[in-house]
Structures are given as structure tokens and as C-alpha cells.
Structure 1
Amino acid sequence: KISYLSLRCAGNVVSVGLYSHTSCSKHVPTRQFKRNPIWACGQVGAAGSDPMLNKISTFKDACWRFLRPHTIRGTALGSVALVARALIENSNLIKWSLLLKAFLGIVALICGNGYIVGINQIYDIGIDKVNKPYLPIAAGDLSVQSAWFLVIGFAMTGLLIVGSNFGPFITSLYSLGLFLGTIYSVPPFRMKRFPVAAFLIIAMVRGFLLNFGVYYATRAALGLPFQWSAPVAFITTFVTLFALVIAITKDLPDVEGDRKFQISTLATKLGVRNIAFLGSGLLLVNYVAAVLAAIYMPQVFRRSLMIPAHIFLALCLIFQEAISGFYR
């Protein structure tokens, strides 16, 4: 999980780099949507043969983009990492019967993720037409009515799975995550208008709730009471701080649209360059803390893996722009 998130941030979140000498006063889309050429060729062939199949394929593609696949990958990989950690600690309790429960848990998390990113798109159509015109609602590939159908379906399916398989406590945590995702986007709350509230919500949902909830549910499925361990505490702390970095820097490419619609973010208040440096600094602190944890707690962490891995990721972050400039 940590490696995935770290590489993702090094590639996307802090693309300004510590060695950048330019400022971004004008919005330049960094993640323009491009249809897969294989998919496009298939559409050309399907158009002349079966219009219904063409419509189904187009709708399927729009739904996939609506789910924001990069957020699904983060949720799934993070969950798998924590489940694996719990199983490694209690390998004698592993049973094949747990496989179905684990699968249902992943589905519930993807549904919750789909609800949160989906409802945000429903209420951000105008902003997305400026900042992210490739998203399906903004691009006109998915109707608002269909989007509502999807997000309600995601929420109901997720709650049904969690309520029937993981007990009242995890159901409460899941419901809290959905609630925070709702007030983040939906008027009259729309907490995304307030920078501090926005990044706290993101850090809470993507960081603490996800990690704590998955680990708690895994131990409960194994018939064990909840108990913190040093590795899990490290993972949760690392990812929560990482989620803060994402929350702080996620609006860097959206400054133009946010200013147009009077959405106050840290990027619009403090400037793109300053926020990029802040995000880089926090992420660097995370990597340094990981190295120090391995040095001072050798009985808990594998020094041979933790130290070189996080030093490498820190160097990639520091020299990203310099390396890009060298090969440009």
C-alpha cells in the first residue's frame, strides 16, 4: 500500500517538484481523458453492426470513468495490505471460508468509494466542465439521472453488505464515511468550500477510517479482539499523513475552475507553487519517519526493506524535476 501510494504521489500529486522554477497561474489539465484506442476501434466496428451493443459499451465506459479508477486502486490495494498484515500476524487462523467475506468487504469498499466520488461529480458539473471536462457527466456521456441511480445503488449495496456481514460497529464506521463524503459535496453543507474542513474530511475517510475499519473487521472475522500492533499503527499513521498530502495538493490543477466558481482552496489562497512545496515537504517527512522507525525499531520492521525503499522514494521525490529536466 505504502509503495503504491508513494509512487502515485511522486508521479501525480507533486508533479511541480522540489526543483521546479515555474509557477502555474493558468490551468493546464494534467490528466486529460483519452479513450483507449482499442476501445475506440471496437466502437467503430460496433457502430455499423449493433447500435444497442454500441450504447451498452459506451455506457459501461462512462460508468467506469464515473468510478474514478485511480481511487479504486488505492482503496483496494490499501485494504489488501492491511488484511495481509492481519493474516501474517495470525496465520494459524486462516480459513478458506474467509475468502468470500474478504471479497464482499472489497466490494463494499468499492461501493462506498463509488458513492463518494460519484456524488461529488453530480454537484460539481459546472466546475468539472472547466477543470475536468473528460469526466462522464461533464462530457455529456452520463446523464445526471443515471448518475443518481448509480450513487444510490452504490450506497445501498455497500450498506447491505456491511450490515449483514461485519456487525454494527463496522456498519457505523461505514455510515460515517458515507456521511462525511456527503457533506463534503452536497449543499447546504458543501464542506469542500472550506480548505481546512475539506482536507480533514479527506484525511479522515481515506486515512484513518479506511485503515482502522479494515483492520478491525479483519481481526473480527478471525475471531480476535481489536489490538493495535506497531506495523499497523505505522501503516495507519503513514497513510493518514499521506491522505493529508493528497487533500492539500489535489486542487493544484483545478485553480482556474475553483476561482471561477468561488471555491476557496489552499491552492487558490496560497498559490500553486507554495502548496506544491508544502505537499512535497510533508511527504518527505513521511519517508524520513519511515526510515527512522526502521532504525529505532529493528525488532518490528525489516531494516533491509524499509530503509532502502523509503530512501529511494524520497530521492525520487526530491530529484523528480531535476531528472525530468536532464532527459528533456
Structure 2
Amino acid sequence: MAFSAATPTASPSTTHALNASSFRFEAKFSLSCLFPVSSLRISSPHLASRCRPPASVSQRGKSAHIGFWACSQVGATGSNPLLKNLYNFQDSCWRFLRPHTIRGTALGSVALVVRALIENPALIDWWLIFKALYGLIALICGNGYIVGINQIYDVGIDKVNKPYLPIAAGDLSVQSAWLLVLFFASAGLLIVAFNFGPFISSLYCLGLLLGTLYSVPPFRLKRYPVAAFLIIATVRGFLLNFGVYYATRAALGLSFNWSSPVSFITAFVTLFALVIAITKDLPDVEGDRQFQISTFATKLGVRNIALLGIGLLLANYASAIFVALFMPQAFRRSVMISAHGIFALGLILQAWVLEQAKYTKDAILQFYRFIWNLFYAEYLIFPLI
């Protein structure tokens, strides 16, 4: 009883004031956690998209989940500005490299090296893995130079067609972009010169030169449709496949000799690169017309060029099946026929989806991504054919 009497008791008015104060504090804290994104100034749409809560959040308990997510994001980025700046720069560099082109380059080079080793298993030296890695790094550097120099001179067009690219979005300065492309070119040239000899070095320089002529004034050959797609087909088709296979055989101590599978993949991918070259402009018609860039898509129309690309790829797949049927001694017929038949059916289905969507920009982008996926798939099956 004495303890109870000594314990202070709050009056109703005091209790109400404390509860109100507590509510104001909790509400202020909750709101600051729930809606921190609105107070952040995020210049890049790409980064701003990362500040949205996950779309998979269910309606039940949504507020609590978003509040926790937002608070963790603010804590992660605001606690260390240096780490935040490094992350943003890394993200910009990765987008600057155009990852979908890197995947094609990496898959192509790995597939050709594996094929050369399969053809000559007795000559495999595991120390050559390091040389292969040097070659892959050099190819990625060359790829980075070509796509980077194109972005530097296409800032105005990219602000219309590809506003998510780092220079167009304002996430990477032109000066930083120049430093990156000069680094890529010099690093790639040094790696090739010290590891692969004069012939491969000359092929590498040719690739860089063609990439420069494609983008840089006064040449800017991308303005001319035929020259543009011939450059892309040459670099991504012939030079990559021939150069990697030649370098691999040289590293194994062998003279160059075309094998049937390598001849096939070089011809197949060169035509495929031609299709990529003519369809890559399909989503960019608006900006190309605004900046007076002449492409097949601006001249002949999006639908016609899409159908042309589909027709060329179907012819490519038909030729692969034909080769497998009439040269069974050179290829694994079961793999060649079944894989290319499946790819062709997938392409036909995607063409139907594009037609049903009336060639909207989103549908065209999905179609273009599908073409790249088919490109990757060809290299994935190449060691098995």
C-alpha cells in the first residue's frame, strides 16, 4: 500500500498529452521512413527507379514493408557518401558498356575457344586459360571503346531514343566518357600486342578503326544504312569469329585451318549480325528522324524492316538445318536440326506477338531483346554441333 501511494499517477490530462506527444513522434518517424524518397533529389531516372518499393509487395502489411524498405535504402546510401558515389559511378560505367553487347562478345569468344579445344584435346594446356582470359578482357575493352565512342557522339539522339544511357541521363560526363574509351582502347591494344602477335593486333586495330568510322565525324558512317550494317556485320560476325579461332589455334601451336563448324558459325553469325544491324534502329525511329539519321527503318518503315529481319533469320535457320542434313559427317545432326528448329519456331511466335501488338515501341523493344537472346543461344549450342 505504501509503495502504491508513493508511485506518482498521471492525471487524465497529462496522460492525454503524453499520448498525443507520443503519437506525433511516432507519426513523424513513420512518415520519414515511409516517404524518404520524395525528399531525395535523384537526377537519373535509372537510379530513381531503384528507389521504388518492390512491386511484389502485397496489399496486406504494405505500409510496414515499404517503411522498412525505404528506411534501409536511406541508411545504406546516406551513411557513406563515398560508397554511394562509387556505386553510382560503377553503375554508370556498366550501362556505358552496353551489357547486352558484352554478353554476345563474351559468349562468342568462349564458344570458339571451347570449340578449338574440343577439336584438339591432346594439345590442351591449362596454362592457356590465362591467355584466353587476356583475350576476353581485350575483346571487352574493344567492345567498350566502340559502344562508348558511339554514345559520346550520339548524346542528342540518345536523349530521345535511349535516355537511360549514362551520358544522356547526366550520370556520366562526356569528359569521363572520353577517359573511359581511351582507357579501353589503350588497354585492349596493349593486351593484344603483348600476347597475340602482329596479325591479331592488326585485326584488333581494324575493328577499332571500323568502330571509329561508324560514329565519329566527319565520317560517321552510321548515317548511311548500307555502310552501317556492313560495319556491324564485319566486326561482330567475321572479325570476332575468325580472330578468336585463329588466335586459339596459334596458342595451341597450330596453323590456321577452317573447320566445318567454324566456317558455319562465322557465316551464320555474320548474317545474324546483319539482322541485328538493321533491327537495332527499329525502336529509334523517332530520334533518328529528328536528327536526320537515315536508316532502313526510317526509309522503309518499322513493320517492313521487322519482317525483313525475321525473313533473314528464318533463312539462316533453314540453311543450318539444310547443312546438317547434307553434311552429317561434319555436324551432329540431332543437335543442329532440333535446336535450330526450336529457334525458328520461337522466332515465328515472337513475330506473331509483334504483329498482334501493332508494332508499338514496347513490343519492338521486346522483339529486339528476343533477337539478342537467339544470338546468345546460337553460341551456347555451338560447341555441341
The interval holding the TM-score normalised by the smaller chain is 0.7 to 0.9
Q: After superposition, where does 1:155-166 map in structure 2 within 5 Å?
A: 155-166=185-196
The answer to whether structure 1 residue 202 and structure 2 residue 271 are counterparts is no
The answer to whether structure 1 residue 124 and structure 2 residue 151 are counterparts is no
Whole-Å separation in 2 of the counterparts to 1:322 and 1:268? 22
Which residue in 2 is equivalent to 1:69?
Answer: 99
- Pick one of 280, 283, 292 that aligns with 1:253: 283
- Pick one of 311, 314, 325 that aligns with 2:341: 311
Larger RCO of the pair (alpha carbons < 8 Å, separation 6+): 1
Q: State the Cα deviation string for residues 295-327 of structure 1 (Å, max 9, x = none).
A: 00001111111101111111111122446869x
Which residue in 2 is equivalent to 1:146?
Answer: 176
- Pick one of 215, 225, 245 that aligns with 1:185: 215
Which residue in 2 is equivalent to 1:100?
Answer: 130
Q: Is the 8 A contact 2:78 2:84 kept in 1?
A: no
Structure 1 SS opposite 2:125: coil
- Pick one of 70, 79, 84 that aligns with 2:114: 84
Whole-Å separation in 2 of the counterparts to 1:173 and 1:43? 47
Which residue in 2 is equivalent to 1:238?
Answer: 268
Structure 1 SS opposite 2:146: helix
Q: State the Cα deviation string for residues 123-163 of structure 1 (Å, max 9, x = none).
A: 00000000000000000000000000000000000000000
Listed as ranges, the gaps of 5+ residues in structure 1 are 1-31
The answer to whether structure 1 residue 223 and structure 2 residue 243 are counterparts is no
Question: May I ask how many residue pairs the two structures share in their alignment?
Answer: 295
The answer to whether structure 1 residue 271 and structure 2 residue 301 are counterparts is yes
Q: After superposition, where does 1:48-67 map in structure 2 within 5 Å?
A: 48-67=78-97
Which residue in 1 is equivalent to 2:58?
Answer: none
Structure 2 SS opposite 1:225: coil
Residues 68/43 of structure 1: CA separation in 2 closer, same or farther (3 Å cut): farther
Report the alpha carbon displacement of residue 48 of structure 1 after superposing the two structures with TM: 1.9
Q: State the Cα deviation string for residues 144-194 of structure 1 (Å, max 9, x = none).
A: 000000000000000000000000000000000000000100000000000
Whole-Å separation in 2 of the counterparts to 1:133 and 1:43? 24
Whole-Å separation in 1 of the counterparts to 2:351 and 2:201? 44
Q: State the Cα deviation string for residues 176-219 of structure 1 (Å, max 9, x = none).
A: 00000001000000000000000000000000000000000000
Q: Is the 8 A contact 1:46 1:53 kept in 2?
A: no
Q: State the one-letter code of the partner of 2:283.
A: P
Whole-Å separation in 2 of the counterparts to 1:234 and 1:33? 40
* Percent of residue pairs identical: 74
Whole-Å separation in 2 of the counterparts to 1:322 and 1:36? 33
Report the alpha carbon displacement of residue 277 of structure 1 after superposing the two structures with TM: 0.4
Q: State the one-letter code of the partner of 2:340.
A: H
Whole-Å separation in 2 of the counterparts to 1:82 and 1:143? 36
Q: Is the 8 A contact 1:111 1:158 kept in 2?
A: yes
Whole-Å separation in 2 of the counterparts to 1:244 and 1:322? 22
Report the alpha carbon displacement of residue 44 of structure 1 after superposing the two structures with TM: 3.1
Task: Please identify the structure whose Cα radius of gyration is greater.
Answer: 2
Q: Is the 8 A contact 1:195 1:265 kept in 2?
A: yes
Whole-Å separation in 1 of the counterparts to 2:345 and 2:46? 30
Report the alpha carbon displacement of residue 111 of structure 1 after superposing the two structures with TM: 0.1
Which residue in 1 is equivalent to 2:38?
Answer: none
Which residue in 1 is equivalent to 2:319?
Answer: 289
Which residue in 1 is equivalent to 2:77?
Answer: 47
Report the alpha carbon displacement of residue 43 of structure 1 after superposing the two structures with TM: 5.7
Per the normalisation by structure 1, the TM-score is 0.86
Q: Is the 8 A contact 1:78 1:211 kept in 2?
A: yes
Per the normalisation by structure 2, the TM-score is 0.74
